[in-house]
Structure 1
Amino acid sequence: MIQAKNLSKHFGAQELFSNVSFQLGPRERVGLVGRNGSGKSTLFKLILGELSADGGEISIPKGYRLGALEQHIHFTKPTVLEECTQVLNPEDFKEHEAEKILFGLGFSEPDLARDPKSFSGGYQIRINLTKVLLQSPDLLLLDEPTNYLDIVSMRWLKSFLKNFPGEIMLITHDREFMDDVVTHTMGLHRQQLKKIKGDTAKFYEQILQDEEMYEKTRENLDKKRKEMEAFIERFKAKASKAAQAQSRVKALEKMSSMDKLADVDSLGFKFRFVECPGKQIAEVKHLSFHYEGKEENLFHNLSFPINREDRIGIIGKNGKGKSTLLNIIGGYLTPVTGKVSFHPSAQIGHFGQTNINRLNMENTIAEEIQQENNDLSISSVRNICGTMMFEGDLAKKKIKVLSGGERARVLLGKILAKPANLLLLDEPTNHLDMESIESLTEEIGNFPGAVVIVTHSEIMLKNLATKLVIFHNGNAEFFNGTYDDFLEKIGWESEETKPKVETKKLSEKEIKQKRAELTIERAKQTKPIKEEIERLEGEITKNEDLLKRINNELEKATLANDTAKLTDYAHAVGKLNHMIDELFEKLTNSNENLEFIQAKYDKELDALS
């Protein structure tokens, strides 16, 4: 159990939190929430010992192991599998565990033999995530583990964390993911910490009730104070009431004061809409695309309309072409075949990583937003800056000094400044906190124009998407239905096994041949493991027999009071017990490996039935 007492932390003049305390109980999975900048990641660093608190202390039991998702990339092994398994003890045979986790996080079998440095930054973070999950620490500290995951990998990770045998502290902007995993929610709010049993909805409901109670108490206190002040002012000069007035003066001096709760900064979204008279704002016709030097298309012959009020979600695994499609629609890339036709009145607002990289580093925030719409007054530009939490002189900061999250907010500000009837949004929630995501989701829902959005947030897809473009089976296809319709009719399982489409039915002869091949392959893979299990069982039996004989000799030496023999036999017993324990551990790992391989082939054989 971890305990924190009276923790305080500040950076310069900014106080993150003061005198906060909490404890983490057995098997608790705690979601840590709070606005961006409230101190969530700082609290993680305090627990890990990477930062020191200004006050208070954190107690961690001796031998209690912490595991944290490392954002820093440092690889030393030539393959993904070797990089991941190096965190295990040499005698542990848990390669299959590493493979299970890597497959769950979106790696393919050929990927396991690739150089980990050859992967994109998102996949390199997944390798780090695999390493920490493999170590099976007592406490997992996960800071935004879903940032670089696609929906399939997020669903796998969610299941893994729900079954994790230790404790978890989780920071994520994905509210649905958090609610599905956690047993408790702990939040930093107004420099204080509160922990409740339950999900984020229950937590924020409790915060709201607490603040409503505070305000009612403060208002009643103010009302009472004003009544007392009025009585004093009215009767202080009257001899008959002087004593009562003086009594109220003393009571007023003792009365505590309660400050009005300050407004909490939040992002407010309001898109500028320009009317489009046509029913169809754009049409995607027979699109195909591949990058230079690659022969295989990311997608081919893709067609779909974008109607005036459509909400189209683009979904699929990472690296399949979702952002590429959005960039083609936005005009940043040229398709190999096909085209995108627009209504003459179409006006596009585009949020994506490509656009963030195109921000002018020498511009101030205000200048960058002004460039998007020269018709805006300075006051309007300042209002948008304030909406994006760049109030006052903060709007004069240059783009080059901003963090990635701040630049994303500038780009959102540019979209708010530009009149549009078609929004193209590529993961717009990555750098936002939960409250801002909810505000953005609501505003997208209210936008009178069309929206095409790439997102891994299932809650956004369920709330917004009325149509989908699905990247799977080596192509992209248009699906005229909601995300719930997709889950019911197609589902993500098709990504991991085989597509749910009509396939050629195998003949009885072909099935028999396939079963025979799988049986031979299974025997080939399991034979050395079975031999190892047999050898280990023999070693254990032999050593247990030897231990029994030495224990008998030890009893004789004890009766004879032979000190020299007692010492030798006791040493031999200790050594044998240690050896037997090691053999049992290796036997357990080999049995687990055998079960994993057998289950894999059983599943394939069952599919042929």
Structure 2
Amino acid sequence: MIIVNNLEKSFGPQSLFERVSFLINEGERVGLVGKNGTGKSTLFKMILGQESPDSGTLTTPKGYRIGALEQIICFTKPTVLEECVEVLNPDKQWEYYKAEIILSGLGFSEQDFHKDPSTFSGGYQVRINLCKALLANPNMLLLDEPTNYLDILSLRWLKEYLNKWPGEMLLITHDRDFMDKVTTHTLGLHRKQAKKVKGDTIKFYEQIIQEEEAYELTRKNLESKRKEMQLLIDRFRAKASKASMAQSRLKMMGKMGTMEKLDTEKNLGFRFNHLPCPGKIVMNVNDISFSYDGKPESNIFSNLSFSIGRRDRIGIIGANGKGKSTLLNCLAGELIPSSGSITKHPAARLGHFGQTNIDRLEPQNRVLDEILRT
């Protein structure tokens, strides 16, 4: 259970929250929605005590435990299983079977349990953190984009797991269908306020639209009445016999108050920059194989050959762990194939967005400087 009362938060001139109040009751699973930049992740950080509000309070019962999906990868144990059970109380670390059930549901094999967690792909490393969050068995789960990197089977398993979750949950995800199927309520951050609705995201946005249409209709009616009254006042002022009536109307208009016009919500305009390549073939891949230890028997993929033509848009599919991200890393020049060759057109420039990009950032840079560096 969490009680949020009159929470306010600003970053410089930008105000995120203004008198935000809401309550998450026992057993409620809440989907948190809002446009990018409205403060969803900031609210998570406040609940976890990693960020302080400018004013207002956030209250939980004594001894209330909150667990969260960590996005930062930091492993300290030699095997996946040991890394996961570390979150259990010392007297319960023999309960390996619970970790095994969750890991299996998230797509790990029994052989994977005993491997070094740092050897897995970025997506699987996030799954290990997800296992740790679920295994810790807190009173409340905070899940920020838990569906990233999950395949269909793992998504189905996680959906069933969360629907059986007995505690409270606050969930951020861009997968609207997933959110609607695992939550009981929707909490929206909208116009610096918070609104909670029992039901799914469709019901939430329908209510927002209805309320704002009603507000705008009321505002226009009020504005029309004020204009009519102002015309009467202007006419009465010109006549001494009507002066007292004009004064009376003026007081009435003062009591009516005003309603501010709702600002138009800004949408993000975005387009990809594109540098044309003059060649018909942008890249040739010839008979490449790859293994992390250099041994042919350990190859993740073998003898791949294909070409990428100008304006081609190619989707790579395959089961988890079959080398999709490894292949992209090879094409981007971040990994070298064990055998074979990759040749790109001399005029071609590559852009690569991988699963884990934090190592590519210069932490001392400002955000704008880091973007301009590219």
When normalised by structure 2's length, the TM-score is 0.79
Taking the TM superposition and a 5 Å limit, the aligned residue runs for 1:452-463 are none
Residue 104 to residue 312, structure 1, CA distance change in 2 (3 Å): same
Structure-2 separation of matches of 1:171 and 1:337 = 43
Taking the TM superposition and a 5 Å limit, the aligned residue runs for 1:336-415 are 352-353=353-354, 400-402=365-367, 407=371
Q: Does residue 1:68 correspond to 2:71, yes or no? A: no
Residue 321 to residue 52, structure 1, CA distance change in 2 (3 Å): same
Q: CA RMSD in A?
A: 4.1
Residue 315 to residue 233, structure 1, CA distance change in 2 (3 Å): farther
Mapped contact 1:299–1:321 kept (Cα < 8 A): no
Mapped contact 1:152–1:317 kept (Cα < 8 A): no
Match of 1:25 in 2: 25
Match of 2:301 in 1: 298
Structure-2 separation of matches of 1:273 and 1:117 = 35
| Cα deviation, residue 42, structure 1 | 2.4
Mapped contact 1:2–1:25 kept (Cα < 8 A): yes
Q: What SS class does the counterpart of residue 146 from structure 2 fall into?
A: coil
Structure-2 separation of matches of 1:73 and 1:334 = 24
- Which protein shows a greater Rg? 1
Structure-2 separation of matches of 1:73 and 1:270 = 31
- The residue type equivalent to 2:43 in the other structure is L
Match of 2:250 in 1: 249
Residue 49 to residue 328, structure 1, CA distance change in 2 (3 Å): closer
Q: Which has the higher contact order (CA 8 A, sep 6+)?
A: 2
Match of 2:210 in 1: 209
Residue 287 to residue 174, structure 1, CA distance change in 2 (3 Å): farther
Structure-2 separation of matches of 1:349 and 1:234 = 72
Residue 18 to residue 82, structure 1, CA distance change in 2 (3 Å): same
Structure-1 separation of matches of 2:99 and 2:250 = 73
- The residue type equivalent to 1:315 in the other structure is I
Match of 2:124 in 1: 123
Residue 337 to residue 38, structure 1, CA distance change in 2 (3 Å): same
Mapped contact 2:284–2:343 kept (Cα < 8 A): yes
Q: What SS class does the counterpart of residue 19 from structure 1 fall into?
A: strand
Q: What SS class does the counterpart of residue 10 from structure 1 fall into?
A: strand
Structure with greater helix share of residues: 1
Mapped contact 2:332–2:352 kept (Cα < 8 A): no
| Cα deviation, residue 68, structure 1 | 1.8
Structure-2 separation of matches of 1:262 and 1:168 = 32
Mapped contact 2:300–2:322 kept (Cα < 8 A): no
Residue 400 to residue 10, structure 1, CA distance change in 2 (3 Å): closer
Q: Does residue 1:322 correspond to 2:327, yes or no? A: no
Taking the TM superposition and a 5 Å limit, the aligned residue runs for 1:52-451 are 52-92=52-92, 93-270=94-271, 288-290=288-290, 293=294, 295=296, 296-298=299-301, 300=303, 313-323=315-325, 325=327, 352-353=353-354, 400-402=365-367, 407=371
Residue 245 to residue 349, structure 1, CA distance change in 2 (3 Å): farther
| Cα deviation, residue 109, structure 1 | 2.2
Residue 7 to residue 238, structure 1, CA distance change in 2 (3 Å): same
| Unaligned runs of at least 5 residues, structure 2 | none
- The residue type equivalent to 2:20 in the other structure is V
Match of 2:41 in 1: 41
| Cα deviation, residue 83, structure 1 | 2.1
Residue 139 to residue 287, structure 1, CA distance change in 2 (3 Å): same
When normalised by structure 1's length, the TM-score is 0.51
Residue 303 to residue 179, structure 1, CA distance change in 2 (3 Å): farther
Structure-1 separation of matches of 2:353 and 2:76 = 33
Mapped contact 1:150–1:316 kept (Cα < 8 A): no
Q: Out of 52-61 and 316-325, give the one that drifted further.
A: 316-325
| Unaligned runs of at least 5 residues, structure 1 | 362-398, 415-609
Residue 283 to residue 258, structure 1, CA distance change in 2 (3 Å): same
Residue 218 to residue 179, structure 1, CA distance change in 2 (3 Å): same
Taking the TM superposition and a 5 Å limit, the aligned residue runs for 1:461-500 are none
Residue 183 to residue 235, structure 1, CA distance change in 2 (3 Å): same
Match of 1:490 in 2: none
Taking the TM superposition and a 5 Å limit, the aligned residue runs for 1:526-545 are none
Over the matched positions of the two proteins, sequence identity in percent amounts to: 55
Q: What SS class does the counterpart of residue 128 from structure 1 fall into?
A: helix
- The residue type equivalent to 2:301 in the other structure is L
- The residue type equivalent to 1:68 in the other structure is A
Q: What SS class does the counterpart of residue 26 from structure 2 fall into?
A: coil
| Cα deviation, residue 272, structure 1 | 8.1
Residue 248 to residue 274, structure 1, CA distance change in 2 (3 Å): farther
Residue 350 to residue 130, structure 1, CA distance change in 2 (3 Å): same
Residue 333 to residue 70, structure 1, CA distance change in 2 (3 Å): closer
- The residue type equivalent to 2:59 in the other structure is S
Residue 79 to residue 34, structure 1, CA distance change in 2 (3 Å): same
- The residue type equivalent to 1:256 in the other structure is G
Structure-1 separation of matches of 2:53 and 2:358 = 36
Structure-2 separation of matches of 1:285 and 1:232 = 82
Q: What SS class does the counterpart of residue 77 from structure 2 fall into?
A: coil
Structure-2 separation of matches of 1:198 and 1:302 = 50
Residue 300 to residue 217, structure 1, CA distance change in 2 (3 Å): farther
Structure-2 separation of matches of 1:339 and 1:235 = 87
Structure-1 separation of matches of 2:222 and 2:308 = 61
- The residue type equivalent to 2:95 in the other structure is K
Structure-1 separation of matches of 2:295 and 2:227 = 77
Structure-2 separation of matches of 1:34 and 1:98 = 33
